[in-house]
Every structure is written in C-alpha cells, then in structure tokens.
Amino acid sequence: MSSSTTSDIELTVTPGAAVEVKKFMEAEGVTSEQGGLRVSVQPGGCSGFKYGLVIEDKSADDDFVLDNEGFKVFVDPFSAQYISGVTIDYVSSMQGSGFTFKNPNATGGCGCGTSFTA
C-alpha cells in the first residue's frame, strides 16, 4: 500500500461540493479513513476530454492521494497532468443540480461543463 501525496496537484473542492461528496460517501457506506472521491480525466466528451467523479472505497497503488476536509481525493497519474488548478463546485439551479469544474488550464470547452480541451 504505497499511497503517495504530492504538492504539485492543486485541486479545490468547494465547501458546497464537499458536503455533497460526504453525502454520497455515506449513502454508499464508504469510510473517510480509507475511501474518498476519485477525480479523473478521460479521453472523450465533445471537446476532447471529460471529467469523471466516482466514490471509491480505497485508493489504487499509483494514485496521488490528496487530503480534503473529511475525505480523501484520489487522482491517477494520467489525470494528474490535467487536474492541477481545477476547482470542483456543486451548483443547484432551476436547470438542475450537479458538480461543475473550473479549469484554468483548459484552452476550450463546451456548454455541457464536463468536457474540455487542453
């Protein structure tokens, strides 16, 4: 179990988003000692890359593990190159509610808010 942490990745989870992450973890029976939120970047989406969020009960061997208030954030090595500086927020509006991503490194995006170009 080689959990590595790095100061190179700066990822912000807003307090509003953190509340929602904790709700999802509780609903799935995932403990904050071992489990957390996986933030990933995958090829696809309408702009080239898309974000992924999933609750996991433990980190993978090669993950970067970031401590957030009340839970851990897991980032795989591929995603790490695109994720630094990203702010994850949770918004609720008449159009619906969900997680949003603000990425200062993105060179383009589209209206869906979960796809970007780097």
Confidence at residue 108, expressed as pLDDT on a 0 to 100 scale: 63
Confidence at residue 112, expressed as pLDDT on a 0 to 100 scale: 52
20 three-state secondary structure: helix
Q: Tell me the domain boundaries of the chain.
A: 12-106
Distance CA 42, CA 44 (A): 6
* Tens-digit pLDDT string for the chain (118 aa): 444 444 578 999 999 999 999 999 999 999 999 999 999 998 876 667 888 999 999 999 999 999 998 899 999 999 998 888 999 999 988 888 899 888 887 766 555 555 555 5
Confidence at residue 2, expressed as pLDDT on a 0 to 100 scale: 44
Distance CA 93, CA 6 (A): 35
Tokens read off for 118: 């780097």
CATH number of 12-106: 2.60.300.12
Confidence at residue 117, expressed as pLDDT on a 0 to 100 scale: 57
- Please give the model's pTM, rounded to 2 decimal places: 0.82
Confidence at residue 56, expressed as pLDDT on a 0 to 100 scale: 96
Confidence at residue 105, expressed as pLDDT on a 0 to 100 scale: 72
